């Protein structure tokens, strides 16, 4: 079955669609088969991405034109193997809609941070078997949530909200998402090679 990822923010017009488009493109380029969609906790239903967010996608080499904002639903959450959110408040919102999804719901930066920990543990301990498929990686990251070193500040697991803010804030959101997505893709691509290259 196809590995399914759901990307979530507030309006579904900035962070979550850009992150979803970038993740989908880079996973595909790495040979990881996945379906990546997005939605918002308070979605601007029917709207396209903001012009600034669309430019972010274009700079990343992906086409933003097909995006239409959707409201998050329990069915969307329950169908996903992994739910990636922009911030801790979105993680809480997802868990409120579907409590059983808590184990597979992470902020983008949180998942990348813990996946780096998993990769380091695998490299340091020959007895530690790196997950061999994407769903197994999600399980291992979930199990390692309390073991990985936490961020210096809780908000360091979040991506800043650029909506109706300055170009500088959009640039920071773009940077944070891109770094996190690169970490995610590295981790998922490594599942096919037993962790080699993941650290």
125 is catalytic: yes
Catalytic, out of 103, 116, 125, 161: 125
In 46-166, which residue ranges form alpha helices assigned H by DSSP?
51-59, 74-79, 88-97, 108-124, 134-143
- The β-bridge partners of 71 are 40
Region 176-195 average pLDDT: 90
Catalytic, out of 4, 14, 15, 186: 15
pLDDT of residue 43 exceeding 60, the answer is yes
Closest to 82 in 3D by CA, of 189, 8, 6:
6
Structure token digits, residue 186: 């590295």
CB atoms within 10 A of CB 78: 13
Mean pLDDT score across all residues of the chain: 94
Region 169-188 average pLDDT: 97
pLDDT at 156: 96
pTM of the shown model: 0.94
pLDDT of residue 123 exceeding 90, the answer is no
9 is catalytic: yes
Region 102-124 average pLDDT: 95
pLDDT bracket for residue 1 (50, 70, 90): confident
pLDDT at 188: 96
Domain ranges of the chain: 3-192
pLDDT bracket for residue 150 (50, 70, 90): very high
15 is catalytic: yes
Q: What is the pLDDT of residues 6-37, one digit of tens each?
A: 999 999 999 999 999 999 999 999 999 999 99
Catalytic, out of 9, 113, 157, 186: 9
Q: Give the distance, in angstroms, between the CA of residue 38 and the centroid of all CA atoms in the same chain.
A: 10
CATH domain 3-192 topology? Rossmann fold (3.40.50)
């Amino acid at each position: 079955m196809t590995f399914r990822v759901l990307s979530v923010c507030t309006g579904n017009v900035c962070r979550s669609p850009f992150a979803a488009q970038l993740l989908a493109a880079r996973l595909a380029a790495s040979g990881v088969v996945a379906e990546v969609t997005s939605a918002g906790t308070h979605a601007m239903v029917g709207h396209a991405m903001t012009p600034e967010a669309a430019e972010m996608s274009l700079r990343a080499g992906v086409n933003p034109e097909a995006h239409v904002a959707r409201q998050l639903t329990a069915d969307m959450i329950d169908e996903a193997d992994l739910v990636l959110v922009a911030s801790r408040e979105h993680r809480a919102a997802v868990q409120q809609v579907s409590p059983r999804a808590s184990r597979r719901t992470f902020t983008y930066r949180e998942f990348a941070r813990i996946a780096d920990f998993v990769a380091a543990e695998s490299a340091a301990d020959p007895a530690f078997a790196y997950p061999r498929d994407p769903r197994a990686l999600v399980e291992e990251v979930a199990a390692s949530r309390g073991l990985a070193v936490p961020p210096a500040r809780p908000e360091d697991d979040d991506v800043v909200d650029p909506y109706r803010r300055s170009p500088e804030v959009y640039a920071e959101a773009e940077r944070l998402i891109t770094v996190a997505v690169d970490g995610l893709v590295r981790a998922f691509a490594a599942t096919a090679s037993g962790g080699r290259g993941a650290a």
